[in-house]
Amino acid sequence: MSAKTTSMDRRSQPRLTCRSKDQAVNEQRPHALLIDGKAVAAREVEETAAAAQELIARGVRPGLAVVLVGEDPASHVYVRSKGKAAESCGFHSVQHTLPASTSEASLVALVEKLNDDPAIHGILVQLPLPGQIDAARVLETIAPGKDVDGFHPVNAGLLAIGDVSRALVPCTPAGSMILLREAARDLNIKLAGLEAVVVGRSNIVGKPMAQLLLAENCTVTIAHSRTNDLAATVGRADVVVAAVGRPEMIRGDWIKPGAIVIDVGINRVPGEGLDKNGKARTRLVGDVEFESAAMRAGAITPVPGGVGPMTIAMLMKNTLKAAVRSASLQKR
């Protein structure tokens, strides 16, 4: 299937899709358009950096504070990536690394201090937190206007009532929506009126994703691992968003022909053979059985290289948005 865009669209927009090697060999074999999250994320970061320079010229430098508690290796990798992205955008970037023994009271006190710091416009507390800390209490301590993760009940409430413009939207759903809109444009279809199924009901991805799809006038179903006849539910969807956290749970033959598939899952599973250090190889897969799904879908995000890069890009965008709002408030 090929995209139906005008020549002007192709010149002015980043290319979202490419052909597989198999398709290049056999043009008669159907294959979904691949949604290039890396390219779109790079564009979003570039636009954010340019807008940040304009804001800095007006005397406001966006500031992002990231708080890391404990020694979780994956969290350290994520935090380093976020810090590098913030610096590349020209932000004032601060990282607070605390020991795993940190008390809840101490973490709350730090968040309150960051709330009061005018140089900080965005606060992110990296999850998961150690067992002695109530994550909900910590996240609710963050000022809603600095909640660049979009997890505060105020931001969740604004999204739930459809006031998307006032909310700081969770980064992964926000990035997924950008990829979905551009895939729909590439396929020359409108999202309004389409049937969308979100597989996963978390507060971080599933529920906010459903709200964003509703804002696009889709007809939305939230499904999950206990949904009766999940295959039939997924099979009627024009848009499938997989965010259930189970490797390749969504089978390729469930996908409706021509559907747009956004795979949010990132799961590490056993690979083949040993690496150079003699350890068993692993590989990353999504929540969707990619190869078979790609033979039926109209467009699909790969894992890795799909939704993942968009999450950090949207974090930068939320931080800029918070800084702009802060500057507007200071003028009043």
Beta strands in the chain (DSSP E): 33-34, 63-69, 92-98, 122-125, 195-199, 219-223, 239-242, 260-263, 267-274, 280-285, 299-300
Q: Which of 126, 147, 211, 238 is catalytic?
A: 126
Closest CA to 311 of 155, 179, 154: 179
Q: Which residues contact 285 (CB under 8 A, 6 or more apart)?
A: 247, 248, 265, 267, 269, 303
97-125: string of b/e by CB count within 10 Å (b at 16+)?
ebeeebebeebbebbeebeeeeebbbbbb
Coil vs helix vs strand at 220? strand
Backbone angles phi, psi at 185, to 5 degrees: -65, -45
Q: Which of 36, 146, 147, 149 is catalytic?
A: 149
The verdict on whether 149 is a catalytic residue reads yes
Catalytic residues: 82, 126, 149
